[in-house]
Amino acid sequence: MTPLIKATKLTKVFGDLTAVDGIDFEVAEGESFGFLGPNGAGKTSTMKMIGATSPISGGELSVLGLDPATDGPTLRSRLGVVPQENNLDEELSVQDNLMMYGRYFDMSRAEIRERIDELLEFVQLVEKRNAKIQTLSGGMKRRVVIARGLINEPDLFILDEPTTGLDPQARHVLWDRLYRLKQQGVTLIITTHYMDEAEQLCDRLVIMDKGRIVAEGSPRSLIDEYAPGEVVELRFPGGVLETLNSRIESLAPRTEILADRALIYTEDAERTIGIVTETGLEPETVLARRSTLEDVFLRLTGRTLVE
């Protein structure tokens, strides 16, 4: 089957800055595909090229079998986009915002009204139909933007950092909605710098750093490949950590010393904690956990995702 998106040596250059540096990836229909990386990794630039709102600087890109450079309007009519910023019309009601957006796609008013009923139900904002955007919370606005992006029943739904800046509860509501979309078979493209978001929502993802793809796979396979097993996190009082570098590094083949804590990668967290105690180290707190994509990112780039 031909992929929904195919990028070959895709590049984006702004003046002297190479934001996207020759990346290759493919996204299949029905897949939920993630771009994980810190700010400035090139995720948003990639999204804008896919969304046909930013021309590519080099390489090749095909989206839904179309060339964004020549078929921009046709392509955009089949996409749904949730940009990083909400950019709703704050003075208008939820319903007016959705009606206005649907009309950009030349849908009939009756068709849009029907769709608004469904979508408000879906994003759980039925009772906010006539509320002005400026009266809504951040999480609600985000859900309106998601409804807006779905108004034209897109073949591909692009979300640029859908939950950045939201409180944990609002994030979980959003994740739940996006998970449902995924179950309905909607192809999702999600950028995020939250590893838990990527783990929850993405079938497959690429990890981006400085404009390049540094790894690709399912969340599980990436963890298995780059950060298998468990992690013991040790926190020490300020200043102490630097003096312990060599002692901590001798505890396991792989360790990471961060600004505020040390990570020890291990097959058996409990045994490692035993060893820590035996060697006379006295951390303030000890935490044993499974490895996550954050550890994969750290392993690949030597840096944390969210500083």
Q: Which is nearer to other proteins, 19 or 205 (CB)?
A: 19
In 3D space, the residue among 257, 212, 238 whose CA is nearest the CA of residue 23 turns out to be 212
Distance CA 102, CA 118 (A): 14
Q: Which is nearer to other proteins, 16 or 278 (CB)?
A: 16
Distance CA 172, CA 1 (A): 34
Q: Which is nearer to other proteins, 105 or 179 (CB)?
A: 105
Q: Minimal distance in Å, beta carbon 62 to other proteins?
A: 19
Contacting residues toward other proteins, per CB under 8 A: 14, 48, 51, 53-55, 72-74, 76-77, 79, 81, 83, 85, 87-93, 96, 99-101, 103-106, 148
Q: Minimal distance in Å, beta carbon 21 to other proteins?
A: 17
Q: Which is nearer to other proteins, 79 or 232 (CB)?
A: 79
Q: Minimal distance in Å, beta carbon 204 to other proteins?
A: 24
Q: Which is nearer to other proteins, 89 or 114 (CB)?
A: 89
Q: Minimal distance in Å, beta carbon 41 to other proteins?
A: 17
What single-letter DSSP state applies at residue 1? -
Helix (H) or strand (E) holding 174: helix 168-183
Q: Minimal distance in Å, beta carbon 203 to other proteins?
A: 24
Residue pair 3/66 in contact by the 8 Å Cβ criterion: no
Q: How many residues does the chain have?
A: 307
**Count of Cβ atoms closer than 10 Å to residue 98 Cβ:** 24
In 3D space, the residue among 152, 133, 153 whose CA is nearest the CA of residue 143 turns out to be 133
